[in-house]
A and B are shown apart, each in its own frame.
Chain A
Amino acid sequence: NSKVIQTPRYLVKGQGQKAKMRCIPEKGHPVVFWYQQNKNNEFKFLINFQNQEVLQQIDMTEKRFSAECPSNSPCSLEIQSSEAGDSALYLCASSLTTNTEVFFGKGTRLTVV
C-alpha cells in the first residue's frame, strides 16, 4: 500500500477562492508529482519535483496554479482563484527516481461551487 499522504481528502471552495492541498511523499522518495484527474478519468500532469527543484511543469493554467516542495515540509499545490472547471481529483505521487514506479496518494477531491 502506498505511503503517500494527501490532505485534505475533500475540499469545497467557492469560485474565486483559494484552494490549497498538501502531500507528504513516501519516505525516501525525492521525486514528487501532481496530477489532475477529471470526472472523465482523464489525467493531466501538472508538475513534478526532484527534491525542491521543479523538473517539468505545464503552463500552470494562467498562473492560477502554483506548487512547491520545500525541504522538511509537505509539498503543496495551490489554486489562487478557483474556477468551476478546476473541480477534480488532485493526485500526488512519489517515486525513488524518474525511471521507477510511481506511487500515488488517495487524492484530494476539490469541488468548486
Chain B
Amino acid sequence: AQSVTQPDARVTVSEGASLQLRCKYSYSATPYLFWYVQYPRQGLQLLLKYYSGDPVVQGVNSFEAEFSKSNSSFHLQKASVHWSDSAVYFCALMNTGGLSGKLTFGEGTQVTVIS
C-alpha cells in the first residue's frame, strides 16, 4: 500500500530565512508527487508537481521541490520565506498505475513564519 509521511508536524522559521519541509513516500514505482498549501479557512492550493524528468521542480511563489528516488523523498524548499507563507503544507502522492487519480496525503506540516 502507498503512503506519505511528513515527519515534521510544526516548523517555525524567521521571515527571510530558508525553509525545508520533508516528505517521504512509500510506493512500488515512481509516483506522481505534489505539494499543496492550505491557508486558514481555505481549500488546497497546488504549489508544484512532479511527474518525471528533472528531479528539481519549480512551483509558485518561489517554492521548489527535489525528487529523490533513492531516498523516496520529495522535499519542499524556499530560499526566503515571507510572513504570508504561514500555512499548512501537504505532500501528496498519486498512484500512477490506477485509474482513479486518487491522492494519498501526508499528515501536513504547519509552518509559522515569525518576524
Contact = CB atoms under 8 A, between A and B. Distances in A.
Interface of A: 1-2, 4, 6, 31, 33, 35, 41-43, 45, 48, 55-56, 91, 93, 95, 97-107, 109
Contact of A99 (B34, B44, B101): B101
Contact of B43 (A45, A98, A104): A104
Interface residues of B, number: 23
A62 B43 CA distance: 27
Given A33-B102, A101-B46, 9 more contacts: A6-B43, A31-B101, A48-B100, A48-B101, A91-B43, A100-B101, A102-B46, A102-B94, A106-B42
B36 A98 contact: no
Contacts of B36: 104
A79 B57 CA distance: 40
B46 A43 contact: no
Contact of A101 (B34, B41, B102): B34
Interface string B76-93: 000000000000101000
